[in-house]
Amino acid sequence: MLNMAQIKTAAIDLAWRGARTVLNLKKKLSKFGGLKFERLIGESSLWITCLTSLKPSWLKKLTVGALAGNLASFLDTSKAQTMSLWVILPVSLPVFVISGIWVVYAMALYNQHVCPVNNWLYNQSCELPLHLQTDPVLCCTLDNVPLISKCGALPPESCLFSLICSTGSFMVMLIGLLRYAHVIDKHQNCVLNMAGLSTGWMCAAGLIMVGNFQVDYAKVLHYVGAGVAFPTSMLFVCVQSALSYRLARTHTDYHVAHMRLAITVLAFVSLVLSGVFFVQESFVLQHASAIFEWIFAIIIMIFYGSFVFELDGVSSDTLMVLARGGGGGRGKGDSGLSVIENKTPMLHGEPMHFQLSPEGVAIL
């Protein structure tokens, strides 16, 4: 029979040798990325099996938990070593849309289809339409308020406006889908995640209608699209902010959640003010409504840009979630050792079973 001192000495020796094996495993995987995982962790699994037979139970849990924690940490960090190319998507969406709508505004201003943003003087009527006026001081009516839709109502800027809205809606759908799969892959599916996907896609559908049915030629369809796009985009940022707080685990996660909450509050204020001022008869309030509409659109695009933190971790496993129809993902009690559970290594032709209890990992 071994006494307590001998057991502790053996456990420390085995844990040390196991840790060195994990370090060697990291080096081998970084050098021979194409080799199968089962062949490379066979030696590590031997130490894990030996450690699970140790007595007393607290010593077994401590040593197994330490080695399991090293393996779990390696599995998580090895995936994060390479930046996902999907991170370009949330960066390019705000850059493309914000710069695009300002180009549309510049074209409409150049063609005298709208009045400048800094113009606050409007008239009931003018002798000549705006695009036929040649005086330095323009005579503007409510038909010339620089709303985003008004800037893209007439050709040639209407063509660019339709292109921006259609492309932007596709990118919005793609970001929403990747965010949905990322939550399932890294955490688990929930009602908020489903609501985020639904509101994001509804916003994209409304945006397509806004861009392709100009307000001067198909006013009803245009307003239907706007009535879908604006509220659902507001709901989307609210749902995603709540989801960010629910899934937050680290200080960085909470900082991102705080940032999204601040953006959501600004978006809500600008949307409410834009809607309230839009139904007023005052020329000044109508113009203020247009300004707040621009602010709201820019804020929403900035919010989509914040998904760079999540899409940086998109991997093939995330895409497999979509291939499985949204199923799978990690549950609340799952850890990074799910890969080991699915791929049992072989030793001398016999499968080795890891007796890694949740308590052994949680004790750390």
Q: Name which of 1-5, 283-287, 354-358 the model is least confident about.
A: 354-358
Whether residues 148 and 276 share a domain: the answer is yes
Q: How large is the angle between the packed helices 157-186 and 316-323, nearest 10 degrees? A: 100
Choose between 279 and 83: higher pLDDT. 279
Domain, as residue range, for 30: 4-82+332-362
* Per-residue model confidence (pLDDT) at position 20: 66
**DSSP sequence for 328-358:** ----TT--TTHHHHHS--EETTEE------H
Residue type, 58: W
Q: How confident is the model at residue 192 (pLDDT cuts 50, 70, 90)?
A: very high
Whether 262 is in a domain gets the answer yes
Q: Whose CA is closest to 241, among 222, 232, 254?
A: 254
Whether residues 146 and 192 share a domain: the answer is yes
Whether residues 300 and 244 share a domain: the answer is yes
Whether residues 185 and 260 share a domain: the answer is yes
Check: pTM over 0.75? Answer yes or no. no
Whether residues 158 and 246 share a domain: the answer is yes
Whether 221 is in a domain gets the answer yes
Whether residues 132 and 255 share a domain: the answer is yes
Residue 285 pLDDT exceeds 70: yes
Residue 350, SS3 per DSSP: strand
Whether residues 199 and 237 share a domain: the answer is yes
Whether 75 is in a domain gets the answer yes
Angstrom distance (rounded) from CA 340 to CA 239: 34
Residue 186 Rama label (left phi>0; alpha psi -120 to 50; beta): alpha
State the chain's mean pLDDT as an integer: 79
Whether 319 is in a domain gets the answer no
Choose between 348 and 127: higher pLDDT. 127
Residue 247 pLDDT exceeds 70: yes
Asked whether the beta carbons of 43 and 19 are under 8 A apart, the reply is no
Whether 127 is in a domain gets the answer yes
Q: Name which of 33-42, 160-169, 231-240, 274-283 the model is least confident about.
A: 33-42
Whether 321 is in a domain gets the answer no
Whether residues 229 and 270 share a domain: the answer is yes
The pair of three-digit structure tokens given for residue 146, joined into one six-digit string: 């620089």
Whether residues 98 and 233 share a domain: the answer is yes
Mean pLDDT for the stretch of residues 13-20: 63
* Per-residue model confidence (pLDDT) at position 335: 39
Whether 154 is in a domain gets the answer yes
CA 239 to chain centre: 12
Whether residues 49 and 117 share a domain: the answer is no
Whether residues 181 and 221 share a domain: the answer is yes
Whether residues 26 and 164 share a domain: the answer is no
Most confident of 17-26, 54-63, 112-121: 112-121
Q: How confident is the model at residue 364 (pLDDT cuts 50, 70, 90)?
A: very low
Residue 346 pLDDT exceeds 80: no
* Per-residue model confidence (pLDDT) at position 28: 54
The number of folded domains in the chain is 2
Residue 346, SS3 per DSSP: strand
Choose between 60 and 302: higher pLDDT. 302
Q: Name which of 80-89, 191-200, 332-341 the model is least confident about.
A: 332-341
The pair of three-digit structure tokens given for residue 239, joined into one six-digit string: 């749902």
Residue partners of 14: CB distance under 8 A and separation at least 6: 47, 50, 51, 54, 63
* Per-residue model confidence (pLDDT) at position 348: 47
Residue 265 pLDDT exceeds 90: yes
Q: Could you read off the pLDDT of 84-136 as tens digits, one per residue?
A: 788 899 999 999 999 999 999 999 999 999 999 999 999 988 989 998 888 88
Q: Name which of 291-295, 321-325, 337-341 the model is least confident about.
A: 337-341
* Per-residue model confidence (pLDDT) at position 185: 86
Whether 323 is in a domain gets the answer no
Choose between 54 and 275: higher pLDDT. 275
Residue 213 pLDDT exceeds 90: yes
